[in-house]
Structure 1
Amino acid sequence: MPKLSVVMPIYNVEEYLPKCIESCLSQTYKDFELFLVNDGSKDNSLDICRTYEQKDIRIHVIDKLNGGLSDARNAGMRVATGEYIYFVDSDDFLERTCFEKCIAKLETTNTDMVIFDVYQYFMQTNTKEIIHNGLAENTTTSVKENPSILTKVLNAAWNKMYRKSLFVNNSIEYPVGYYYEDLGTTYKLMLMANKISFINEPLYDYLADRPGNITQQFNMKTYHIIDMINEIVTYYKEQKCFDLYYDECMYIAGINIMECLKKTRNIKDKEEVNKFIDTCFAYLKKEFPQFPKCKYKICRQKNDWIYANPRTLKFYLAIRKMWH
């Protein structure tokens, strides 16, 4: 039985898939099983998966009807046999020592989760920048010991390796049918982790500007940001710690909703824009009446103050429309 289970959800990524699979197979750490979860692809992704399955006994293909990224991750997790689990997105790729360094860190620190830095790779300019997690790798901590860690890490699934029991023992799965599913899951896992460790080195390459990347677009599924924030709020309330981590939850809600509000700059339909703005701020007012007043800096970038107030934002968008 392998020590590590790797789950790769796949949907219409034939152009990127071989590189991602190869980056797993070329890892310096070899004791893993790799589940290629084909989520109803309509291109040649399944054929590529089958070809690799015949070449390497560590690879297992799961072919299923399309259910979305969360459904594919959950399907892989249910059959995973490893003590540790890792999720890789099929349009990205890994640095060769990713598995080795994560396993070593988890085992030497006896932690439930390890979080590492990533390269944000821009295809159009062929450039990289490092996204740091901002926490020293010679320390271990927890949300209980240091609540501010909730404000310092990416919510992505793929810059973390987990003890599988963290999911199983706490009945945590990825919420099916939503975008921003990492947001609705990561902070549950962090809350329930007894200890978290860190690696101050980029071990993953995230394609930030891939055509079709949902983070670049506005559509009706952008409303899912509120659903996923509510996943966190509801879970923390169920665990009776929402009041304890109120400012951390407000920060997470604020920065993520504001990033989605920035997408309204390119929407021409004023009614659609106003509806989204009103929905976002109605939720913030309901759960975080003090917003944006918070002990953490919610307005992190130069013009973020515009997106922290509905009236200011609507006025800005009206002026912007006149000039474009």
Structure 2
Amino acid sequence: MRINNITPNYYNTESHRVSCIVPAYNAVNTLSGCIYGLVNQTYQNLEIIIVDDGSKDGTGMLCDEYAEQYANVRVIHQGNSGVSIARNAGLKQATGDRIFFVDADDEVLPTYVEKLIAEDADWVLGGYQNGAHRIELKNERYNHSEIPRFFLSHFHRLYTTVPWGKLYRTSIIKDQELKFDPRIRLGEDLVFNLNYLLYCNSIALIPSVGYRYIQEGVGAEKYHLHAEEIAYTIRQVDSSADMLRKKYGGASFCCRDIKRTLIGTYPLTRILDGDSEYETLYLKTFPDKDKKYLWNDVLCSPYLRGKRYIKYYIKSYRIAAALHMMRKLLFACCKYYV
């Protein structure tokens, strides 16, 4: 499979070298769109590192074809080890002094890198589009003493907690030996970004929306996370927040909503089957709350989560699944409130 080239409008070719890391696992159906946007960037000084994470669907062969066709594409093949180890492998091989990540099922516009690299900051964040949903950031800049304000204003939003949609300074990652934690299956990017934030002295937000985030389904449920996994991630979040508070003289780095979001990734099906681990995890994390508060918590409530699933199933014409969820949710609610 080959990608038809467009004629890029190259500019500023003597400036920073930028490395793009693309972890790919069984992505043969989406990788072409991802790579098409990358090889046709208007910014020329770019290397693209695709990490084939033990794919079994032909992704590895497709990656090799791109490496043969494009001089700035490199491929790393590894046994299936997960997205964190894949990203870490890419970080180890990156030669650019700026780094960004793109997921293999997402796409970027041709001017994506050009817009990000135009800002000289330790961390540059842009907006994204998910279907008809468009997130466009205001043009803002935060220097060292203002980073606590950046955290309070933005760090509860998706565009700050994910690895994509932003540009990192390589020297910070390598000097501080920052890595994605392979023990975390969901939230590894959030913890990585918190650790990266600890060493940032400047952050720029740009209004450009050059990243197309393609999300399928209600993703968190597929991980079937256990309570201890979520608790471990919460401990890493608390540790990072403590270090940030110390650095900034006790400034507020409240992660309460972040922890609620993490708790809300516990499998709903397990909760509705009567599993008590969920309640135990919530009450241990927030000892000032009770069981009733859990069921009314906007982010964690099994009832509200179930309603979101029902809407998703109906929207995707999965009526049987919607009815099944309705029955389980009704039974669980009656059992709880009685």
Which category of TM-score, normalised to the shorter sequence, fits these structures? Answer: 0.7 to 0.9
Q: Helix, strand or coil for the counterpart of 2:121?
A: coil
Q: Using the TM superposition, give the Cα deviation of residue 79 of structure 1 relative to its aligned residue in structure 2, in angstroms.
A: 1.0
- Using the size of structure 2 for normalisation, the TM-score is 0.75
- For each residue in 1:170-189, what CA deviation from the matched residue of structure 2 results, as whole angstroms up to 9, or x when unmatched? 22111113222111111221
1:163 to 169, 193, 200: 169
2:99 to 85, 88, 92: 85
1:270 to 256, 274, 282: 274
Structure 1 residues 83 and 318: alpha-carbon distance in aligned structure 2, compared to 1, 3 A threshold:
same
State how 1:38-77 maps to structure 2 within 5 Å. Answer: 38-77=52-91
Kept in 2, the 8 Å contact 1:112–1:162? The answer is: yes
Q: Which has the larger radius of gyration?
A: 2
**Structure 2 residue aligned with 1:295:** none
- Using the size of structure 1 for normalisation, the TM-score is 0.78
**Structure 1 residue aligned with 2:148:** 147
- For each residue in 1:288-309, what CA deviation from the matched residue of structure 2 results, as whole angstroms up to 9, or x when unmatched? x589xxxxxxx9xxx9635568
Mark the runs of 5 or more structure 2 residues left unpaired by the alignment. 1-13, 306-328
Q: Using the TM superposition, give the Cα deviation of residue 283 of structure 1 relative to its aligned residue in structure 2, in angstroms.
A: 2.5
Structure 1 residues 131 and 265: alpha-carbon distance in aligned structure 2, compared to 1, 3 A threshold:
farther
Q: Helix, strand or coil for the counterpart of 2:60?
A: helix
Q: Helix, strand or coil for the counterpart of 1:57?
A: coil
In structure 1, C-alpha distance between the alignment counterparts of 2:125 and 2:334, rounded to whole Å: 39
**Residues 238-247 or 151-160, more deviating:** 238-247
In structure 1, C-alpha distance between the alignment counterparts of 2:69 and 2:304, rounded to whole Å: 58
Kept in 2, the 8 Å contact 1:277–1:310? The answer is: no
Kept in 2, the 8 Å contact 1:148–1:248? The answer is: no
Q: Give yes or no for the alignment of 1:111 onto 2:112.
A: no
Kept in 1, the 8 Å contact 2:268–2:302? The answer is: no
In structure 2, C-alpha distance between the alignment counterparts of 1:309 and 1:246, rounded to whole Å: 26
Aligned residues: 290
| Percentage identity across paired residues of the two chains | 25
Structure 1 residues 309 and 51: alpha-carbon distance in aligned structure 2, compared to 1, 3 A threshold:
closer
**Structure 2 residue aligned with 1:202:** 209
**Structure 1 residue aligned with 2:7:** none
Mark the runs of 5 or more structure 1 residues left unpaired by the alignment. 122-127, 292-298
Kept in 2, the 8 Å contact 1:143–1:149? The answer is: no
Q: Give yes or no for the alignment of 1:178 onto 2:184.
A: yes
1:228 to 226, 233, 237: 233
Aligned partner letter, 1:236 = A
Kept in 2, the 8 Å contact 1:166–1:192? The answer is: yes
Structure 1 residues 4 and 149: alpha-carbon distance in aligned structure 2, compared to 1, 3 A threshold:
same
Structure 1 residues 270 and 46: alpha-carbon distance in aligned structure 2, compared to 1, 3 A threshold:
same
Kept in 2, the 8 Å contact 1:147–1:248? The answer is: no
Q: Using the TM superposition, give the Cα deviation of residue 120 of structure 1 relative to its aligned residue in structure 2, in angstroms.
A: 1.2
In structure 2, C-alpha distance between the alignment counterparts of 1:158 and 1:307, rounded to whole Å: 23
Q: Using the TM superposition, give the Cα deviation of residue 281 of structure 1 relative to its aligned residue in structure 2, in angstroms.
A: 2.8
